Amino acid sequence: MSDGMLGLTQLFLFLFFIMLGFPIAFTLMAMGLFFGYLGMQERIFDLLVQRTYAVMSNDVLISVPLFVLMGYIIERANILDRLFRSLQMASGNIPGSLAVATLATCALFATATGIVGAVVTLMGLLAFPAMLRAGYDVRLASGVICAGGCLGILIPPSIMLILFGATAGVSVVQLYAAAFIPGVMLASLYILYAMGIALLKPEMAPRLPPGEVNIPFSQIAISLLTSFIPLAALIAMVLGAILMGLATPSEAAAMGSLGSIILAVIYRSFSFAKLKESVFLTARTSAMVCWLFVGSAIFSSVFGYLGGQDLVEQFFKSLPLNTFTFMILAQLLIFILGWPLEWTEIIVIFVPIFLPLLDDFGVDPLFFGVMVALNLQTSFLSPPVAMAAFYLKGVAPKHVRLEDIFKGCMPFIYIVVMCMLMIYAFPGLVTWLPEQLYGFTPGSGTPVQLDVPPEGGFQEDEVPRIAD
């Protein structure tokens, strides 16, 4: 068997084992070590040590545990309940007001946490029963919560964009700027859809009774000032400091974590037990991300060393593809991979396979990263493995069927696809803000190249890094 076929065998065996339920990170390392030993003998152990060191010393990844900690503290401070109630009162006279308030809450809270499961679960406990009591159609209510909970993947400060930046060697700050307008646009399209359904089919989203709508303006203003404004200000300061160049993502994330603790203290929801739990969950999530990076770095290096990457490139180049058809094929493959895999595995394992092809087809890595972030919204919504639907089903009343949740998610998948087509037709939606803030020019980004160990092994001063 040639080295190239050995690399493809490594890839297919990995997919087979994860379908059986084996842990992703350790399956990556096991496959990398086994096939690496076949291809490069003892040098694979040098690569294991050096790749682990490279991941642990990667400055870009420092912001991940800090943003995760910020999200978990906000989640456990019971801020979501206050936020939803204030937005519900403020949107009382809008068609589909509960759906609009739910989507706005999801967008803001998902931005603060970036943890899809947490947002969908909490909104499933809080907003889902409220919509059902108000007579909302089960499918519409389900789709609103599932789609809204996924917005944190795209809207900055997104952990997914941090991982993509570390994987592709692209500036995280520029990625945040590039994803801001598409993120706001997608959330706005969701809200417009919910309002349109309420106008065209009022039986699916009935108006609230007068007693819940006719609330004094002063009461609404006080509610917004004490719940919406503080969290929005915290997120705006964190994101603004990053986009304006006042702080690095890691520094801004550290200040955001401190701000979330201060916010919890102000709301009298802070306790050392909650802090301890948040730190534990942060450590668990961060360890998962770091081991995924270690495993994917070893796996990708061995895959490239054996010639698997060359075979993939040759296959794509042999097809009659132009830039548009390449993007369609790449996004279709990522969409399909989203059924069995979570976004973390797709970013650190499969996106690097496409990165060396971007130059060949004239696709900027920044633009590609935003399109991937949009695409990954669908991985949580599309059956048969729609994780957002399963999160909601776990907390929904017993009469709510999984089939109804899937049906409710489908219109939002179509909205995501429409948003992707709009962005492809008008790429300025992605590039305008980076151009204005940083003088970014499309094509200036360069994907990171995989390092493979030379014949004599890496020297001590040649330890490779995933991203500078």
Written in H, E and C, the secondary structure of 47-79 is HHHHHHHHHHCCHHHHHHHHHHHHHHHHHHCCH
Name every residue whose Cβ is closer than 8 Å to that of residue 437 and which is 6 or more positions away in sequence.
177, 243, 244, 245
Q: What is the pLDDT of residue 467?
A: 35
Q: Which residues of the chain have pLDDT under 70?
A: 1-4, 113-114, 211-212, 384-385, 440-468
Which sequence spans correspond to the domains of the chain?
3-448
Q: What is the pLDDT of residue 114?
A: 67
396 Ramachandran zone, left/alpha/beta (phi>0; psi -120 to 50): beta
Q: What is the pLDDT of residue 451?
A: 42
Q: How distant is the alpha carbon of residue 322 from its chain centre?
A: 28
Q: What is the pLDDT of residue 447?
A: 43
Q: What is the pLDDT of residue 450?
A: 38
Q: What is the pLDDT of residue 56?
A: 77
Q: What is the pLDDT of residue 171?
A: 86
